[in-house]
Amino acid sequence: MDGNAVSPNCLSGIRVLDLTQFEAGTSCTEALAWMGAEVVKVENPKGGEAGRIGMPDPYYFMAYNANKKSITVNLKSERGLALVKDMAKQADVFTENFAPGAVERLGLGYDVVGALNPRIIYAQVKGFGEGSPYEKGLCFDPIAQACGGAMSITGEPGGRPVKPGPTIGDTGTGMLLAFSIVSALYQRVQTGKGRRLQAAMQDSVMHYSRGMFISQARHRTAAPRRPAAGNNAPSGIYPCKPQGPNDYVYLLTSRANPEHWPRLLKLMGREDLIGDPRYDTAAARVEHEAEVDEIIASWTRQRTKEEAMAQISGAGVPAGAVFDSMELTNEPSFARRGILQTVTHGEWQMTMPTWPVRFDGAPPPVNPAPILGQDTAEVFSEWLGLEAAEVEALRKQGVV
């Protein structure tokens, strides 16, 4: 990296009481932390939150908890619960994504926390919305992707539905909630009042999959699976050498730009086909799609995906190589731009994406995800004025 990392610092001074776990909730509070908020994860003293335990290593936890603090509190102890309620009085934001009903059973429902602190933004993630027939159901990212329509529009035509690799149900939901939280904070500057926010993973997946409702409005039938960009040819992925699992280039021709096709023919040495009525209109190319695809593929197979991307986009036709995680890691501009940064957590090291939006051109610095409970004494001192000896006594009693 260029060494010029600067925190956007937009939310400095904002205190987030973070009871989230796994990814949907943690990705939300991580976004707040990238913006400079003080995010304090409250974790159980016996191993920490669900995304920290039961994993073979801490990489999952590291990816979604950068720049946060960690304290341990036994929420099942009366004193522990009282401490968290005291913290809620000091907090600007409260977040959780437990199973339905769990936070209320803990005694930290909105009725309790909102009454303790009417200025708090109380934000929850559930799998399904209040009023859904599934509102009591457990949810994980793939369940939300199935129930929210994303899988129905992903896959090969004629094949079975495929789960998108990006975690739209988890991080996708987290981003919508983070935006809503900051909007509520902005409003609070004027009103002085908190708000209650609820995001459902199924509903959030539908937001990212909205294109299916466009297709449905147009064709009056459920949106189909279609790997290409639209009803156009050539469009889609084409094989490149050396024919590894990700050696493909995606290219896109537009009905709005009739120049794309002759540009491709020229690039590919097939000027003989310019004007050929079999391929000369968008409709004709869709009709002869298999032939059209073979014209393209017989050229791309002779090139690497990087060569194909450079030459096709150089000819004025949108194209992109299918990059895998290792190829992205090895592309030096990501490290130089601070998009990828390497963090250390105990004995573990990981190269991970940072907040991707640039503020005044600078990348953000990253602090690795916290070790369990590393900030317990400091946070109880700063937020509640407890002395080190008091915290130590609480630790011996099993409260923290």
Q: How far is the CB of 310 from a copy of itself (least distance, A)?
A: 9
Pairing of strands 195-200, 248-252: unpaired
In the region spanning residues 348 to 367, those forming contacts with a copy of itself, defined by CB under 8 A, are: 350-353, 355-361
Choice from 298, 331, 387, 398 touching a copy of itself (CB under 8 A):
331
Q: Compute the distance between CA of residue 191 and CA of residue 193 in angstroms, rounded to an integer.
A: 5
Q: Which is nearer to a copy of itself, 162 or 384 (CB)?
A: 162
- Indicate whether 205 belongs to the interface with a copy of itself (CB under 8 A): yes
Q: How far is the CB of 276 from a copy of itself (least distance, A)?
A: 24
Tokens read off for 352: 């991970």
- Indicate whether 161 belongs to the interface with a copy of itself (CB under 8 A): yes
- Indicate whether 70 belongs to the interface with a copy of itself (CB under 8 A): no
In the region spanning residues 25 to 44, those forming contacts with a copy of itself, defined by CB under 8 A, are: 31, 35
Q: Compute the distance between CA of residue 201 and CA of residue 153 in angstroms, rounded to an integer.
A: 17
Q: How far is the CB of 112 from a copy of itself (least distance, A)?
A: 16
Instruction: Tell me the per-residue interface mask from 276 to 295 with a copy of itself, x by CB under 8 A, - otherwise.
Output: --------------------
- Indicate whether 120 belongs to the interface with a copy of itself (CB under 8 A): no
- Indicate whether 100 belongs to the interface with a copy of itself (CB under 8 A): no
Q: Would you call 170 a catalytic residue per the annotation?
A: yes
Give how many residues touch a copy of itself by CB under 8 A. 136
Q: Which is nearer to a copy of itself, 275 or 356 (CB)?
A: 356
One of 18, 92, 141, 170 is an active-site residue; which one? Answer: 170
Q: Which is nearer to a copy of itself, 184 or 372 (CB)?
A: 184
Q: How far is the CB of 271 from a copy of itself (least distance, A)?
A: 24
- Indicate whether 242 belongs to the interface with a copy of itself (CB under 8 A): no
Compute φ and ψ for 122, nearest 5 degrees. Answer: -105, 110
Compute φ and ψ for 94, nearest 5 degrees. Answer: -120, 130
Choice from 47, 78, 213, 283 touching a copy of itself (CB under 8 A):
213
Length of the chain: 400
Among the listed residues 268, 244, 278, 274, the one whose alpha carbon sits nearest the alpha carbon of residue 319:
268
Using DSSP's 3-state secondary structure scheme, residue 391 falls into helix
Q: Compute the distance between CA of residue 320 and CA of residue 313 in angstroms, rounded to an integer.
A: 8
Pairing of strands 319-321, 248-252: antiparallel
Q: Where are the beta strands (DSSP E) in 202-347?
A: 235-239, 248-252, 319-321, 340-345
Among the listed residues 152, 353, 327, 331, the one whose alpha carbon sits nearest the alpha carbon of residue 247:
327
Scanning 73-81, 83-91, 331-339, 386-394 for contacts with a copy of itself by CB under 8 A, the matching segment is 331-339
Q: Compute the distance between CA of residue 247 and CA of residue 318 in angstroms, rounded to an integer.
A: 17
Among the listed residues 349, 366, 374, 324, the one whose alpha carbon sits nearest the alpha carbon of residue 57:
349
Q: How far is the CB of 20 from a copy of itself (least distance, A)?
A: 15
Angle formed by the axes of helices 305-314 and 260-267, nearest 10°: 130
- Indicate whether 139 belongs to the interface with a copy of itself (CB under 8 A): yes
- Indicate whether 146 belongs to the interface with a copy of itself (CB under 8 A): yes
Give the DSSP H or E segment for 86: helix 78-90
- Indicate whether 168 belongs to the interface with a copy of itself (CB under 8 A): yes
Which sequence positions are flagged as catalytic? 170
